[in-house]
A and B are shown apart, each in its own frame.
Chain A
Amino acid sequence: MSTSSVEAVVIGASAGALEALSAFLPTLPKDYALPVMIVVHLPPDKNSVMADLLKSKCKIDVREAEDKEPIRAATVYLAPPDYHLLVEPDKRLSLSSDDPVHFSRPSIDVLFESAADAYGPGLVGLVLTGGSSDGANGLRAVHQAGGQALVQDPATANVPLMPQSALEACPSARVMSLPEITTFLNHLVQPA
């Protein structure tokens, strides 16, 4: 498996998200060579707490995504509550207040499908724990565009439904435990 051309990582998580993300985001170095875009399902009023919490734990820069912001390496972008997060073809982020997808805004499918379009084979998509089927179509789109599809092992996920649904929609996705995900993401980009 060639990892030399990876340009970006997208991650989706729902119930149990904080615990799962906390297992590996803090291990990423400050100068991590890729951008990471994340959708976490949150009630709209839980304003940006997630970004602050993760920020306090991570070396890599963590922030809430802004509309039309150019995507940069070594940065984790979180979708703001109540907005969809998309990747534009020119590799900028955009926000939208379109209707919820799978009862969710932000929706994982919306991020993954737009990112698959923008990055094609250069994308890694990862679906983590959650009690929703959001992310399943998105992960399939990542795979169909030639990107790498990963799911958290449903057997080890806090809430298995979401990785399970993603795996059903995208059977060729690689199944990994959180420690395996940690190693994988850290080795995606080898120092030259």
Chain B
Amino acid sequence: MYNKTEDIELRLLLEAIYRRYHYDFRGYSMASVKRRLTQAQERFDCRSFSMLQDRVLHDPTLLPELLSFLTVQVSELFRDPSYFKAIREQVVPHLRTYPSLKVWVAGCSAGEELYSLAILMREEGLEDRTMFYGTDINPDALRRAEAGVFDLERMSLFTENHRRSGGKSSLSDYYTAGYGAAVFDKSLRRRAVFSDHSLVTDTVFAEVQLVSCRNVLIYFDRELQDRAVGLFKDSLIRKGFLGLGAKESLRFSQHADAFTEFSRESRIYQKRGTA
């Protein structure tokens, strides 16, 4: 609806969420934030964003559910199999040359992407020298990632994805099925740390060889994308790798020059060797 008052209210609501709870959505892609907050407004029976703001400010118990509207949790194991195939076939040979490895999955949702990489690294014999860092801002997603439990009915898709990614084993080797759930092998997260970290407000925490950040940057405006990519740049070692989502690129990024296109098809970049 063409309604400028509503845009003012939207800005104020995001400002309120930031000041009260320190979750900063002010630089997200407004069109989709607005869409999702409109759904939240309906869910909480509010007539306007101002009313929703009033509720949110005075009732902290609303926050978790509001966060589930504000952050999109759509993910899969081995989502876009060709990406993982490219990691396996083109990036892994480089990773093998390091005695120890750190992998950062930024915006890890419920862990789907991190578990995919952990399985891949195990299959490639690199697991024992790798630490995995999964970060997200959604506490509920982080809890689920920690648990490593997924709906059993999603496993046929995940199994097919894994196979198409060049998987060297059967996905069922990595989980036990029961009561409608697939419980992933605890040993897969022996070397994984899941933590609360925002690409908007936090800083670099480790030096890593690979950053995988897929389908997160599309939710940010240009400036915020620059900030996030700046973090990846600072976190990566020279010649380190950055993998993005299937429709993400560094084309409009202020940091484009710091990277070379390693696999254009799979949206994998490599940090330049020179300073």
Contacts from A to B (Cβ < 8 Å): 66-69, 80, 83-84, 86-89, 92, 94-99, 110, 113-114, 116-118, 120-121, 141, 144-146
Minimal beta-carbon separation of B36 from chain A (angstroms)? 7
Q: Are B31 and A98 in contact (CB under 8 A)?
A: no
22 contacts between A and B (CB under 8 A): A67-B217, A67-B249, A68-B222, A68-B225, A69-B252, A86-B32, A88-B29, A89-B30, A96-B32, A96-B218, A97-B72, A97-B218, A98-B74, A99-B74, A114-B32, A114-B34, A116-B2, A117-B2, A117-B34, A144-B1, A145-B1, A146-B2
Q: Within 8 Å CB of A87, what residues of B?
A: 31
How many B residues touch the partner, as a band?
Answer: 20 to 34
Q: Within 8 Å CB of B1, what residues of A?
A: 116-117, 141, 144-145
Contacts from B to A (Cβ < 8 Å): 1-2, 7, 29-32, 34-36, 72, 74, 215, 217-219, 221-222, 225, 245, 247-249, 251-252
Extra inter-chain contacts (17) besides given A68-B222, A114-B31, CB under 8 Å: A66-B251, A68-B221, A80-B247, A86-B29, A86-B32, A87-B31, A88-B29, A88-B30, A88-B31, A96-B218, A97-B74, A98-B32, A98-B35, A113-B35, A116-B1, A141-B1, A144-B1
Q: Within 8 Å CB of B247, what residues of A?
A: 66-67, 80, 83, 95
Minimal beta-carbon separation of A117 from chain B (angstroms)? 6
Q: Within 8 Å CB of B72, what residues of A?
A: 96-99
CB contact between A67 and one of B30, B35, B36, B248 (< 8 Å): that residue: B248
Q: Are B29 and A94 in contact (CB under 8 A)?
A: yes
Minimal beta-carbon separation of A96 from chain B (angstroms)? 5
Please report the C-alpha to C-alpha distance between residue A86 and residue B29 in the assembled complex, in whole angstroms: 9
Please report the C-alpha to C-alpha distance between residue A78 and residue B31 in the assembled complex, in whole angstroms: 18
Q: Are B30 and A68 in contact (CB under 8 A)?
A: no
Chain B residue nearest to A89 (CB atoms) is B30
Q: Within 8 Å CB of B74, what residues of A?
A: 97-99
Minimal beta-carbon separation of A76 from chain B (angstroms)? 17
Q: Within 8 Å CB of A117, what residues of B?
A: 1-2, 31, 34
Please report the C-alpha to C-alpha distance between residue A16 and residue B36 in the assembled complex, in whole angstroms: 31
Q: Within 8 Å CB of B30, what residues of A?
A: 88-89
Please report the C-alpha to C-alpha distance between residue A120 and residue B3 in the assembled complex, in whole angstroms: 9
Which of B29, B31, B248 has its CB near the most chain A CB atoms (within 10 A)? B31
Chain A residue nearest to B248 (CB atoms) is A67
